[in-house]
């Protein structure tokens, strides 16, 4: 009986270990297989979403997404039809499909289209910055459906799909976000061969962020082919950063939701500019950097907001953060004065921390100051501690919430203090005050 129990114990002990080793081995094997699978070499990195790749030579459209581990999975493939004339589009009316890196900017529904374009169409942003620099023109390049039987090379320059397939890719495309890379012929490479390109382009983006964070105009200039052109609102950012540094206001600039794709010697980095000042974070809109590779590495040849309207968002975000940081610094100064005047019994200064229309617990300002003066007379060695301070402000109104630790000769208490604030005559004042005892 004991021997059977021992055998059972040994077997049940090894089953979980075996399963763990099996799952671990399977995961490692899957990753190894993925790394050796071939993908289009235009795909470098995606933090989220998908990328569309069109191969004009074989008349195919592919959609990929990142698996979360830095590797790409193909999620969709379909036949397509591109321009009836071969080569990259250069002029309007040449019936050629453009080649390069583009983004969808508009979605047209069925009721906005002629039946020849099927149930929907995505407008892409040809000509982009690189195309315009190269003197290319033309417009209205779409990915759309068709009311005809799909045949190779039958469009006037667009990328056409069957109506069934245009509906299917709808769920994979996000306007102004999903890269669309159109190539004459895809160069298929193993996944692991792109890591050096990924590393170099991520390092380049880090250099851009670092230069912006340091407010280093010269370092930023060195990343551009033409330092005098195309640095979208960089000067405004540097100006704000220097003012925050002077005022000792903590700040950061980070890149989020990063997409990196390439096409030959060119690459595009699309990222969300996350701006933080005094621990307040805001999205500053997406920035799109066009890069060109040369013997010494990469240089920016184009800098744009995605979409263009995001330029206003970026400027507004900087101004809002600047105003908020200034307000919070002023509010922190008010709180310091409020604490000091209460501790020292300087009731004139204490009163100046409040607005004329202040009310609390049924008292107006005069009654409140009289009440506090009476408390001060019966309590010595008052000490006020502020912990876990949280500030919010906007439109000349603010809120300060913190844990207040009150200590005096006759009374001790800890609770949550809420001070509602308003800006009057350019100065922050307290106009409501509440306190709730902490639960033991």
Q: Which residue bears the tokens 């690189």?
A: 130
Cα–Cα distance, 119 to 121 (Å, whole number): 7
- pLDDT for residue 376: 87
Domain boundary among 138, 166, 187: 187
Q: Is residue 106 situated within a structural domain?
A: yes
Domain boundary among 125, 154, 187: 187
Question: Do 59 and 156 fall into the same domain?
Answer: yes
Question: Which residues, at least 6 apart from 34, have a Cβ–Cβ distance to it below 8 Å?
Answer: 67, 71, 73, 191
Token representation of residue 319: 């101004």
Domain boundary among 187, 221, 254: 187
Question: Do 50 and 89 fall into the same domain?
Answer: yes
Question: Do 199 and 230 fall into the same domain?
Answer: yes
Question: Do 82 and 165 fall into the same domain?
Answer: yes
Rounded to the nearest 5 degrees, what angle is found at the Cα of 32, between the Cα atoms of 26 and 34?
Answer: 100
- pLDDT for residue 36: 63
Looking up residue 217, the CATH number of its domain turns out to be: 3.10.450.50
Question: Do 68 and 179 fall into the same domain?
Answer: yes
Token representation of residue 119: 């149930």
- pLDDT for residue 395: 83
- pLDDT for residue 266: 98
Phi, psi of 281 (to 5 degrees): -105, 140
Domain enclosing residue 59, as ranges: 38-187
Question: Do 53 and 127 fall into the same domain?
Answer: yes
Question: Do 156 and 250 fall into the same domain?
Answer: no
Question: Do 164 and 250 fall into the same domain?
Answer: no
Q: Is residue 44 situated within a structural domain?
A: yes
Q: Is residue 276 situated within a structural domain?
A: yes
- pLDDT for residue 27: 44
Question: Do 328 and 251 fall into the same domain?
Answer: no
Q: Is residue 410 situated within a structural domain?
A: yes
- pLDDT for residue 403: 97
DSSP result, 165-217: HHHHHGGG--TTTS-EEEESS--EEEGGGGHHHHHHHHHHHHHHHHHHHTT-H
pLDDT tens for the chain, 440 residues long, are 454 555 555 555 555 555 454 444 444 444 555 556 899 999 999 999 999 999 999 999 999 999 888 899 999 999 999 999 999 999 999 999 999 999 999 999 999 999 999 999 999 999 999 999 999 999 999 999 999 999 999 999 999 999 999 999 999 999 999 999 999 999 999 999 999 999 999 999 999 999 999 989 899 999 999 987 767 778 888 888 988 888 888 899 999 999 999 999 999 999 999 999 888 899 999 999 999 999 999 999 999 999 999 999 999 999 999 999 899 999 999 999 999 999 999 999 999 999 999 999 999 999 999 999 998 888 889 999 999 999 999 889 999 999 999 999 888 999 999 999 999 889 999 999 999 998 76
- pLDDT for residue 11: 52
Could you give the number of structural domains in the chain?
Answer: 3
Q: Is residue 26 situated within a structural domain?
A: no
Q: Is residue 10 situated within a structural domain?
A: no
Q: Is residue 23 situated within a structural domain?
A: no
Question: Do 197 and 172 fall into the same domain?
Answer: no
Q: Is residue 215 situated within a structural domain?
A: yes
Distance, CA of 304 to chain centre = 15
Question: Do 111 and 164 fall into the same domain?
Answer: yes
Answer whether 92's CB lies under 8 Å from 139's CB: yes
Question: Do 180 and 216 fall into the same domain?
Answer: no
Looking up residue 171, the CATH number of its domain turns out to be: 2.40.440.10
């Amino acid at each position: 009986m004991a021997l059977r129990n021992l055998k059972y114990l040994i077997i049940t002990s090894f089953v979980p270990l075996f399963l763990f080793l099996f799952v671990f081995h399977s995961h490692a094997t899957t990753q190894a297989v993925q790394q050796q699978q071939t993908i289009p070499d235009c795909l470098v990195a995606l933090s989220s979403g998908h990328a569309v790749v069109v191969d004009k030579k074989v008349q195919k459209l592919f959609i990929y997404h990142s698996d979360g581990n830095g590797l790409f999975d193909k999620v969709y493939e379909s036949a397509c039809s591109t321009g009836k004339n071969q080569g990259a589009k250069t002029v309007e009316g040449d019936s050629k499909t453009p080649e390069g890196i583009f983004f969808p900017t508009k979605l047209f529904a069925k009721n906005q289209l002629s039946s020849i374009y099927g149930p929907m169409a995505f407008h892409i942003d040809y000509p982009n910055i690189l195309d315009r620099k190269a003197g290319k023109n033309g417009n209205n390049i779409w990915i759309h459906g068709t009311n005809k039987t799909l045949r190779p090379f039958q469009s006037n320059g667009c990328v056409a799909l069957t109506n069934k397939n245009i509906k299917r890719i709808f769920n994979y495309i996000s306007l102004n976000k999903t890269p669309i890379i159109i190539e004459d012929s895809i160069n298929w490479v193993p996944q692991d061969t792109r890591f050096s390109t990924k590393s170099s382009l991520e390092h380049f983006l880090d250099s851009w962020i670092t230069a912006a964070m340091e407010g280093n105009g010269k370092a930023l200039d060195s990343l551009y082919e033409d330092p005098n052109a195309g640095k979208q609102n960089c000067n405004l950012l540097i100006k704000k950063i220097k003012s925050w540094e002077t005022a000792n206001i903590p700040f950061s600039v980070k890149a989020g939701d990063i997409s990196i794709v390439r096409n030959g010697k060119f690459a595009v980095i699309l990222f969300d500019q996350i701006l933080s000042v005094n621990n307040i974070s805001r999205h500053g809109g997406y920035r799109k950097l066009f890069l060109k590779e040369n013997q010494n590495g990469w240089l920016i040849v184009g800098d744009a907001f995605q979409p263009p309207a995001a330029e206003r968002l970026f400027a507004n975000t900087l101004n809002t953060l600047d105003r908020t940081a200034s307000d919070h610094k002023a509010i922190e100064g008010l709180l310091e004065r409020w604490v000091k005047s209460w501790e020292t019994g300087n009731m004139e200064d204490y009163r100046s921390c409040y607005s004329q229309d202040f009310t609390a617990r049924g008292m107006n300002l005069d009654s409140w100051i009289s009440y506090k003066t009476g408390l001060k007379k019966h309590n010595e060695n008052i000490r006020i501690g502020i912990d876990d301070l949280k500030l919010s402000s906007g439109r000349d109104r603010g809120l300060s919430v913190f844990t207040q630790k009150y200590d005096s000769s006759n009374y001790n208490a800890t609770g949550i203090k809420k001070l509602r604030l308003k800006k009057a005559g350019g100065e922050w004042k307290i106009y409501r005050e509440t306190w709730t005892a902490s639960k033991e």
